[in-house]
Amino acid sequence: MIQLLLVFIPIFSAVAVWRIKNRQNRMRMLLALTSLMHLVLSAVMTFRSEWNADFSWLQHWLYADELGKCFLFLTSLLFCMVAIHTVFWIKAEQDAQETREHPEGLLKLHIFVSGLLAFEGMMTLVILSVDFGLLWVAVEATTLVSAPLILFHRSARSLEAMWKYLLICSVGIGLALFGTMLLAAAMPPGEGDLRFTHVTGVRHLLKPVWFKASFIFILAGYGTKMGLAPFHTWLPDAHSESPGTVSALLSGALLNCSLLGIIRFYEAAPDEMKSFCANLMVALGILSLVFAAFFTVRQLDFKRLLAYSSVEHMGLLSILWSIPSIRDAAAIHMYAHSLIKMALFLTAGNLLLACGTRRTDLLGGLSGKLQRNSILFFAGVLMICGVPPSPIFATELRLIMALPPIAGAAVLILLLIIFAAMTHTVLHLICGPDKKVLPDESLSIQAEKLVWIPGVMLVLALALGMIQLHSIL
């Protein structure tokens, strides 16, 4: 029963928002309360396994296995953090519109809040679904409910980003549907049931040619949504044009949901085809690192810089999940990336609120007026690049050691390029000389008040890193 509540509470709240659309305070309160309730239920689901298995009929559709619990708790925690941040940020953003010279206009609050809540419901459905068909329906639904969120700042640029997101992701997900059908074709005769447990149970009977074809389409399809190169083209546009809170959710939570789709298929692969699937995942992972390294160098937009960092980490996760001996490192990397990246995007949103531009060549010396945000941003960038004691340091180290020497060396070089490019840009942004655009005085004060949630997330990531370092030393 708890599975149903986890999916439907956010959806009911999303509908309820339309009933109170003229009362902004209530809408914000509903967003925070729903996310808190979801987090509590997720924690119960994760840590009290008897609550997970109450109705047998429900388990045919929704169930959290160990992998699902890992994703569910993370998604719920991140959403709750973002929801609380949004409650305060949205007021500041509305005030900022009044002070700007050329206000862009904002999406109506009830549409935004409703979209956020529905987004949480659909992400939960992705994680809890136990059937490849239902998984596809849920992943596609996340695209549909998140697309309007990109349009929060109603500008021509965000409209373009939304169109690209909608079209590219939908075509990608369409390919994933085709891949799902090919999986059905790979099933032995008379076995039409596409539940994960069933497919895994008969995986030794799957027809190899059709399964290979299926996995290629699945990797291309869900890989598009996950931001794996070369299918990542929507990601930098959507992440840079969305408000900070939405970018944080897209990067920290949504990409993981698509990754889960790929992992489910990988787990269903027959033993003799695991290496084929793993090789494909490693190839796309390294290609993602190459693209990220190329585009982070001399990047002039600090949110695009973070977006390419997401492409990098999705590539790393793809490689990590394909190596069974370091699965625990893959899970820790995913947690660490989500926490740190979410903190970074929320801080980037604060910087954007105060400065009104994302262009790094127009900004400089932010540490003067935006001291707290600057410290958080710099600390976050160091952590996402794997500087110890970041948990990413330990996971990247284990990955490089697990790969063959040439591949390991290639990954290390690419990681160093990205580290150099990101720190160079961010150091100039924070410690460089003042440039053409200076942060607005009053908006800077507001932005400095919005550092608590990103700060808590970085502290959580730091704690995770300390535990990691302790375990390897």
Partner 1 sequence: MTFISEILLALFLLAALRLAGASRLKHCIAVTACQGTVTALYPLFVHNWAEFSHDTNMQMILLALLTLGVKGFLLPALLVRAMHTAQVKRELEPLVSYPVSILLVVLFACGAFTLCVKYPVAPAGTSVLAAPSALIAIFTGLFIIVARKKAITQSIGFLFFENGITLFGACMKLEYGFLVEFGILLDVFVLVFVMGIAVFHISREFEHIDADRLHLLGDTMEPAKQGETAK
When asked if residue 361 is in the footprint of partner 1 (CB under 8 A), the reply is yes
Task: Report the C-alpha gap between 162 and 331 in whole angstroms.
Answer: 30
Closer of 104 and 328 to partner 1 (Cβ): 104
**From 20, 37, 159, 382, residue interacting with partner 1 (rule: CB under 8 A):** 159
Residue 115 in tokens: 């979209």
Dig out the tokens for 299 from the structure.
């990047």
Q: Which of 473, 354, 367, 385 is nearest to 427 (CA)?
A: 367
- The two structure tokens encoding residue 298: 């001399």
Positions 124 through 143 that interact with partner 1 (CB under 8 A): 131, 133-134, 136-137, 140-141, 143
In the complex with partner 1, which residue's Cβ is closer, 115 or 391? 115
The length of the chain is: 473
If binding is defined by CB under 8 A, does position 24 make contact with partner 1? no
58-77 residues near partner 1, rule: CB under 8 A: 61
Written as six digits, the tokens of 418 are 């990205």
Give the contact letters, 217-256, x = binds to partner 1 (CB under 8 A), - = no. Answer: -------------------xx--xx---------------
* Interface pattern 291-310 for partner 1 (x via CB under 8 A): ----x---xxx--x------
Q: Exactly one of 184, 216, 400, 469 binds partner 1 (CB under 8 A); which one?
A: 184
- Residue nearer to partner 1 on the CB measure, 161 or 411: 161
CB of 225 to partner 1, least distance (A): 13
CA 377 to chain centre: 18
Cα–Cα distances (Å) from 174 to 166, 262, 317, 330, in that order, read 12, 15, 23, 27
- Nearer to partner 1 by Cβ, of 258 and 299: the residue is 299
Peptide bond into 230 cis (omega under 30): yes
Which span (34-42, 47-55, 187-195, 276-284) binds partner 1, by CB under 8 A? Answer: 187-195
Question: Which alpha helices (H) appear in 243-297, and where do they start and end?
Answer: 244-249, 255-267, 274-296
162 is a contact residue toward partner 1 (CB under 8 A): yes
Assess contact for 303 and 352: CB atoms under 8 A.
Answer: yes
CA distance 394 to 384: 12
Determine the Cα–Cα distance for residues 214 and 183; give it in Å rounded to an integer. 5
Strands in 90-157 per DSSP E:
none
Separation of alpha carbons 389 and 464, rounded Å: 9
Q: Per-residue contact track with partner 1, 427 to 466, x per CB under 8 A? A: ---------xx-----------------------------
Pick between residue 48 and residue 100 the one whose CB is nearest to partner 1. 100
What is the binding site for partner 1 (CB under 8 A)?
Answer: 61, 131, 133-134, 136-137, 140-141, 143-144, 147-148, 151, 156-157, 159-164, 166-167, 170-171, 174, 177-178, 181, 184-185, 189, 192, 194, 209-210, 236-237, 240-241, 295, 299-301, 304, 355-357, 359, 361-362, 436-437
